[in-house]
């Protein structure tokens, strides 16, 4: 993503042609993002193409950000490239290199920045839908102020709606809820109600499901509307049941003459004499006689089955007749249950929609559904499409295999007039570009439908063919639309031996198992060293029941040992004990290198405890690890410890919370201390016991806890958290020391949650705890910016990423074939694609009969296909080495991995290779070859031999300033802190947040205290309309909390000045900057600078050196401006809020180095 342009090869060049409509199937690692970016660049280079009329739709925000960064980086470079280099890059793209094209290329960066919104429209489909609805709110019938719903808001609103409905006295609804809860798992009710709420099209529009639903349910299940017991048992009557076969089977059984035969004969004879009504209570008697207990033919009647030709047929017919009766009975029971469930679900769904409208909420499904309706099903649709037809001439779709049916509806509406009528616009070229890979369709659990990928291609091609045919018929001279169906199969990521293994895997499993209609083209790649290794599984044994050495572990012993083995293996690689040699850049640099922590990616199929255990084990062995890629905010130990402290502060008599706090890093008791000091009289509360304990350790702890309780009733949750983290408890430092730097992210998110709560509610500690417990927030770590650390993530999370070494940590796991069941409400009987989908709740195996059984089988088949596609994605993340392992519990250890596990299917591919002993794994088997342990570079992975000269030798020297160049205090000294630098997008957001809070603190002191909140809200809504209310509320609360502090009253009084420009020459250096607050009296001058960092220091001694240097610059300038007066300098951290005055000695110490910055010629960054 550095903005480099590489030569396009073969089909890449054809796919980038901006005049063609292209459908591109791109295998993993074939450079699809490079092609997508190159096509956009080629479009921008084409005369007459307006950058604002290009629309790129991606599946993820990360994909959108990556594409935007690549394109903008290239355009920015082109502005300053010399003609020769620019011509070479244009040639790489297949573009003309004439002077006019080069001159046009240099203007593109400015043209893109001038687009509405400040850049190209590169959005996720959800973001585009939100933009579309925002542009046509009246036509979309949006509630004023509508906004996307957060996860916690969804959870809280769902609880509120259900509670209201249960309290209203609707007996039918309450009975349905009680019956459903009794029959299903505890969490099934909530899941079912939200599925009904998600299926909004079932309850609205033409053919919507209305009450009563019994007939509709029976129709979907294939049951006659008037079916009852007669229909269930009609197959038992003498005229329908295979009595003739039963009669003929008696003779062979009598000839056989065994006890088994004697058990069958009396029942069969009796059966033939029974009437229809009597048979209803007797048909189960066939089980254990002619039939097994499961209803299948009994195989123990060996002689009759072997000697009498019609005996087997008779058993089959009896089995079928009994099964039909039981299936019909199960269908009737199911119909009764589903009717109640649908009635309940419909009521909830309708109330849910009203509640969302009342609150102004839109969830992700609403965005897509409403956007699709807006473009296709409203009176204004034609007008909207006409307006949009003037907005976009080129549409590019990334990750098309993960685009679902509703999302395709939006795309088709956008291109509806591309190839016909006025939409063709004469000679103006209008194109659609789509790239995807069916083999990488792995998001079925999110509702994606990869089968639409092929259907969409046929639909687009049909439109283009029709446009061509019409043009020929009318002898239209305009440019005809072109169609190019291309494949990319050459990988620029993965070594050829690993790709050979992938090819063999797909051949062994079979293309149909991946959901492909034909075998895919073999993968090709660079012929360099590549290795695939199969580790012997870690097997559980008798110690699984409990092991004294594993009391601290929360996983079974075999999973814990797997995590231990992986951590030890990685430690040996990166420590040099068993170095793993990589040679990806060998041809370019002539050097190989040893693997580092950042070269390793550990993949798991699901985000379970194993991933967190691997992270913990790596951390304990000193291996740099970035933590899991995504986690729930309430799950990290750091958050649990802090919330335990808050729970104790809210309820001091909560013994469990207090005990958790005591043994957490916040207090730091050992288990031995807990056992020594906690025992007390029966029914005596732990806090009451500790308050009167006289042990020095307990007295010290009690004083800390009393300090916490003293603040609990008077401070907001955010203030209390900030005090815990940065005050005397120093909780952040202690938690990071125990849990690693990855604990910082959840800590910061917890503070953000407190801000969000405070912005939307009257803050109270008990209220925050209830609010926090009511919902969940997912933390997503940007794994692509792991910064030299091992990445541990799910295969789904690794999509689009890569690593030299990839470890599949749970390849022995059973396939997950569970999925949401749904039927088709096919009223016309033609299996139409637009038949309404009918969701079903989770059903037991015995409930899955008739159409439901067919749907269940189809769901399992689709899940198995996704299981294999997930394997493909996992294997193709590896650049040079793939390691396959897993663990087996006690039972599986005996039988081996499941036959359809990744491990079981991959193991036969190693049969031709040797089995080597391994100190960690017992044995290992290898496919491919390791890199030679020669020509090893000792430099870090990021070292570039081509940049061996010092940068100062090749960079132009800045002209010496005359007069002396001004020094901005905010740039006077910048130190690398303990935390890694923020990613560019995060840094940009953080800088904007700081600017807005600074502006509030400049303006609000002049506003009456009672009016400040409303004034700030109005100002923020004008200055930052693109930010959501939660983010703006957090900024508002941060500013107001500062102004409320009595200790800061003087610096915000009318005597103090705001945003004061300062300029002075000190020792030949011109210092120029802007002071946030300046208080001037007759004998002293106080300068205060605001800092909006979310991680403020705990005391003045921990203020960053760069900040002290900045304040020293201010102080030096003020000594010149106000000679003879005492100069005081202080830093106000708005997040705490806390004011630290910097000692005079520290200021004097840093004044001496102010001139150093003058020599650096760094860009000014004046606050």
Contact 754, 768 (CB under 8 A): yes
Looking up tokens 């073969």, which residue turns up? 10
Yes or no: say if 584 and 536 are a contact pair by the CB < 8 Å rule: no
- Are 393 and 417 spatial neighbours (Cβ–Cβ below 8 Å)? no
Among residues 189, 446, 224, the alpha carbon closest in space to that of 341 is found at: 189
C-alpha–C-alpha distance, residues 1037 and 187, integer Å: 36
CA atoms within 13 A on the CB side of 1157: 28
Whole-number Å distance between alpha carbons of 1132 and 1118: 19
Nearest to 678 by CA among 667, 666, 688, 668: 688
Q: Is residue 547 within 8 Å of residue 898, measured between CB atoms?
A: no
Binding-site residue ranges: 26-33
Tokens (6 digits) for 407: 């999302």
HSE-CB at 792 with a 13 A cutoff on CA atoms is 28
The DSSP 8-state label assigned to residue 800 in this structure reads T
Residues making up the annotated binding site for ATP are: 26-33
CA distance 159 to 165: 10
Other Cβ atoms closer than 10 A to 99: 10
Q: State the Cα–Cα distance between residues 13 and 35, nearest whole angstrom.
A: 8
- Distance between CA atoms of residues 237 and 765, nearest Å: 70
Q: Which two tokens stand for residue 794?
A: 């799910």
**CB distance 441 to 402 below 8 Å:** yes
Taking residue 760's Cβ as centre, other Cβ atoms within 10 Å add up to: 13
Return the CA Rg of the chain. 35
Give the E-state strand segments of 185-295 in sequence order.
none
CA distances from 1058 to 1015, 1051, 1088 (A): 18, 9, 10
Reported as type and span, the H/E element at residue 1113 is helix 1105-1121
The pair of three-digit structure tokens given for residue 11, joined into one six-digit string:
């089909």
Task: Give the angle subtended at the CA of 317 by the CAs of 316 and 319, to the nearest 5°.
Answer: 65
Give the rounded distance of the alpha carbon of 670 from its chain centre.
37
Alpha carbons 1032 and 1030: distance in angstroms, whole number: 6
Helix or strand or coil: residue 795?
Answer: coil
Residue 908 tokens read as 């036969």
Report the alpha-carbon distance of residue 700 to residue 687 in Å, rounded: 14
Buried b (16+ CB within 10 A) or exposed e, 782-809: ebbebeebbbbbbbbbbbbbbbbbbbbb
- Reading the block at residue 745, the tokens are 């992210």
Helices (H), ranges, 390-495: 405-414, 451-474
CA distance 1111 to 424: 63
CA 629 from chain center: how many Å?
Answer: 8
Identify the residue whose tokens are 């003779």: 251
Cα distance between the two ends of the chain: 29
Name beta bridge partners: 937.
593
DSSP characters over 829-890: SS--TTPEEEE-----GGG--THHHHHHHHHHHHHHHHHHHHHHHHHTTEEEEEEE--EE-H
Per the structure block, which two tokens stand in for 255?
């000839």
């Amino acid at each position: 993503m550095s903005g480099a342009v590489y030569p396009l090869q073969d089909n890449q060049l054809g796919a980038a042609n901006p005049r063609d409509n292209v459908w591109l199937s791109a295998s993993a690692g074939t450079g699809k993002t490079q092609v997508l970016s190159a096509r956009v660049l080629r479009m921008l280079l084409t005369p007459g193409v307006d950058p604002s009329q290009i629309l790129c739709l991606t599946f993820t925000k990360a994909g959108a950000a990556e594409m935007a960064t690549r394109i903008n980086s290239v355009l920015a470079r082109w502005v300053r490239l010399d003609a020769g280099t620019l011509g070479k890059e244009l040639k790489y793209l297949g573009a003309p290199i004439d002077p006019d094209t080069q001159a046009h290329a240099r203007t593109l960066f400015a043209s893109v920045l001038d687009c509405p919104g400040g850049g190209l429209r590169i959005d996720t489909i959800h973001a585009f839908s939100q933009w579309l609805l925002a542009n046509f709110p009246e036509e979309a019938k949006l509630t004023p102020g509508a906004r996307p719903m957060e996860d916690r808001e969804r959870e809280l609103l769902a609880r509120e709606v259900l509670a209201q409905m249960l309290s209203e006295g609707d007996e039918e609804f309450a009975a349905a809820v009680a019956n459903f809860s009794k029959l299903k798992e505890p969490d099934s009710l909530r899941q079912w109600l939200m599925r009904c709420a998600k299926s909004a099209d079932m309850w609205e529009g033409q053919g919507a499901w209305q009450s009563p639903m019994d007939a509709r349910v029976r129709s979907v299940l294939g049951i006659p509307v008037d079916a009852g017991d007669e229909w269930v048992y009609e197959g038992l009557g003498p005229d329908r049941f295979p009595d003739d076969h039963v009669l003929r089977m008696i003779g062979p059984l009598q000839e056989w003459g065994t006890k088994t035969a004697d058990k069958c004969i009396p029942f069969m004879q009796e059966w033939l004499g029974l009437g229809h009504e009597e048979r209803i209570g007797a048909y189960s008697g066939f089980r254990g006689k002619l039939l097994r207990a499961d209803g299948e033919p009994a195989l123990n009647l060996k002689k009759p089955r072997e000697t009498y030709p019609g005996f087997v047929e008779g058993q089959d017919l009896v089995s079928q007749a009994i099964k039909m009766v039981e299936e019909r009975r199960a269908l009737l029971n199911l119909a009764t249950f589903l009717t109640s469930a649908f009635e309940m679900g419909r009521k909830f769904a309708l109330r849910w929609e009203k509640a969302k409208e009342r609150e102004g909420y839109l969830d992700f499904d609403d965005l897509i559904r409403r956007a699709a309706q807006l473009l296709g099903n409203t009176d204004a649709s034609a007008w909207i499409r006409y307006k949009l037809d003037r907005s976009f001439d080129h549409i590019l779709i990334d990750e098309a295999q993960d685009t679902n049916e509703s999302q395709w509806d939006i795309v088709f509406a956008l291109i509806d007039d591309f190839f016909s009528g006025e939409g063709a616009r004469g000679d103006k070229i209008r194109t659609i570009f789509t790239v995807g890979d069916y083999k990488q369709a792995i998001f079925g659990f999110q509702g994606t439908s990869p089968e639409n990928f092929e259907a969409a291609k046929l639909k687009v091609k049909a439109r283009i063919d029709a446009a061509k045919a019409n043009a020929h018929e009318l002898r239209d001279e305009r440019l005809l639309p072109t169609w190019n169906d291309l494949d990319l199969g050459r990988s620029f990521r993965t070594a050829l031996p690993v790709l050979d293994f992938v090819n063999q895997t797909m051949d062994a499993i079979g293309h149909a198992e991946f959901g492909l209609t034909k075998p895919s083209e073999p993968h090709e790649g660079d012929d360099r060293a590549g290795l695939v290794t199969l580790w012997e599984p870690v097997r559980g044994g008798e110690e699984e029941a409990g092991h004294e050495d594993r009391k601290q572990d929360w996983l079974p012993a075999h999973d814990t040992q797997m995590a231990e083995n992986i951590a030890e293996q990685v430690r040996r690689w990166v420590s040099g004990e068993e170095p793993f040699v990589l040679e990806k850049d060998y041809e370019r640099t002539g050097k190989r290198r040893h693997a580092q922590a950042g070269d390793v990616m550990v993949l798991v199929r699901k985000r379970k405890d194993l991933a967190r255990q691997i992270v913990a084990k790596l951390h304990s062995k000193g291996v740099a690890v970035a933590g899991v890629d995504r986690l729930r905010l309430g799950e990290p130990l750091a958050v649990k410890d802090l919330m335990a402290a808050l729970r104790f502060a809210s309820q001091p008599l909560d013994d469990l919370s207090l005990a958790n706090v005591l043994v957490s890093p916040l207090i730091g008791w050992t288990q031995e201390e807990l056992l020594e000091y906690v025992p007390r009289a029966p029914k005596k509360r732990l806090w009451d016991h500790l308050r009167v304990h006289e042990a020095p350790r307990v007295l010290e702890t009690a004083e800390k806890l009393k300090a916490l309780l003293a603040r609990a009733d008077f401070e907001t949750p955010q203030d209390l958290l900030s005090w815990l983290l940065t005050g005397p408890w120093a909780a952040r430092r202690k938690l990071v020391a125990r849990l690693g730097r990855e604990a910082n992210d959840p800590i910061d998110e917890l503070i953000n949650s407190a801000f969000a709560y405070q912005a939307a509610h009257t803050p109270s500690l008990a209220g925050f705890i209830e609010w926090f417990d009511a919902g969940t927030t997912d933390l997503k770590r940007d794994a692509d910016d792991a910064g030299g650390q091992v990445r541990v993530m799910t295969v789904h999370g690794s999509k689009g990423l890569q690593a030299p070494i990839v470890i599949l940590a749970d390849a022995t796991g059973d396939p997950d074939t569970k999925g949401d069941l749904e039927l088709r409400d096919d009223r016309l009987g033609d299996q139409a694609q637009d038949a309404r989908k009918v969701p079903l709740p989770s059903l037991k195996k015995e409930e899955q009969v008739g159409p439901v059984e067919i749907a269940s089988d189809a769901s399992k088949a689709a899940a198995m296909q996704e299981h294999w596609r997930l394997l493909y994605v996992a294997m193709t993340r590896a650049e040079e080495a793939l390691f396959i392992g897993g663990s087996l519990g006690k039972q599986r250890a005996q039988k081996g991995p499941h036959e359809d596990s990744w491990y079981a299917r991959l193991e036969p591919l190693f049969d031709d290779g040797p089995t080597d002993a391994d100190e960690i794994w017992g044995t290992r088997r290898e496919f491919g070859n390791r890199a030679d342990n020669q020509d090893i570079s000792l430099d870090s992975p990021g070292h570039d031999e081509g940049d061996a000269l010092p940068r100062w030798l090749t960079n132009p020297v800045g002209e010496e300033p005359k007069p002396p160049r001004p020094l901005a205090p905010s740039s006077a000294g910048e130190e690398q802190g303990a935390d890694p630098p923020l990613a560019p997008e995060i840094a940009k957001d953080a800088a904007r947040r700081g600017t807005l809070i600074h502006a509030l603190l400049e303006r609000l002191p002049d506003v009456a205290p009672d009016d400040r909140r409303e004034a700030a809200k109005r100002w923020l809504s004008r200055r930052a309309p693109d930010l959501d209310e939660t983010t703006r509320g957090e900024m508002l609360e941060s500013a107001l909390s500062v102004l409320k502090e009595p200790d800061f009253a003087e610096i915000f009084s009318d005597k103090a000045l705001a945003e004061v420009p300062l300029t002075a020459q000190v020792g030949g250096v011109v210092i120029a900057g802007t002071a946030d607050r300046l208080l001037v009296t007759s004998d002293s001058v106080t300068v205060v600078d605001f800092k909006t960092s979310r991680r403020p220091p705990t005391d003045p001694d921990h203020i960053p050196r760069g900040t002290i240097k900045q304040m020293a610059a201010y102080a030096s300038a003020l000594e010149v401006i106000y000679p003879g007066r005492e100069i005081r300098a202080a830093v106000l951290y708005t997040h705490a809020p806390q004011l630290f005055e910097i000692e005079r000695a520290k200021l004097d110490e840093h004044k001496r180095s102010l001139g150093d910055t003058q020599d650096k010629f760094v860009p000014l960054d004046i606050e």
